[in-house]
A = this chain, B = another copy of it.
Amino acid sequence: MSMPKGFLAAGVACGIKKSGKSDLAMIFSEVPASAAAVFTTNQVKAAPIIVSIKHIRRGMAQAIVANAGNANCWTGVRGLRDAFEMASLTAAQLGIDPEKVLVTSTGSIGHPLPMDKVCSGIKAASLKLSKEGWRDAARAIMTTDLTEKNITVKVGKYSVSGIAKGSGMIAPTMATMHAFVATDAAVDRQTLQQVLKGACEKSFNMVSVDNCMSTNDCVFILANGMSGVKIKGDAAVKRFAQAVEKVCVYLAKEIARDGEGATKLLEIRAKGARNSADAKAAVKALVGSFLLKAAVYGKDRNFGRILQALGATRIVVNWEKFKWSWTSGKTQDVITVDLKEGKAEAVGWGCDLTEGYVKINADYHT
Contact = CB atoms under 8 A, between A and B. Distances in A.
Contacts of A109: 302-304, 307-308
Contacts of A266: none
Interface in A91-117: 108-110
A358 B354 contact: yes
A309 interface: yes
Nearest to A292: B212
A361 B44 contact: no
Interface stretch (A131-139, A227-235, A293-301): A293-301
A350 interface: no
A41 B312 CA distance: 7
A73 interface: yes
Nearest to A316: B43
A106 to B, nearest CB: 12
A152 interface: no
Contacts of A303: 74, 109-110, 366
Highest count of chain B CB atoms <10 Å: which of A45, A214, A301, A357: A357
Nearest to A290: B210
B215 A311 contact: yes
A362 B294 contact: yes
- Secondary structure call for the A interface: loop
Interface residues of A, number: 57
B358 A289 contact: no
Count of chain copies: 2
Interface string A336-366: 0000000000000000011101110111111
A211 interface: yes
Given A108-B304, A308-B42, A312-B212, A355 B361 contact: no
Given A215-B308, A215-B311, A307-B44, A353 B364 contact: no
A213 interface: yes
A19 to B, nearest CB: 18
Contact of A297 (B71, B173, B358, B366): B358
Highest count of chain B CB atoms <10 Å: which of A109, A289, A307, A308: A308
Contacts of A334: none
6 contacts: A74-B307, A215-B311, A290-B357, A294-B362, A298-B361, A357-B358
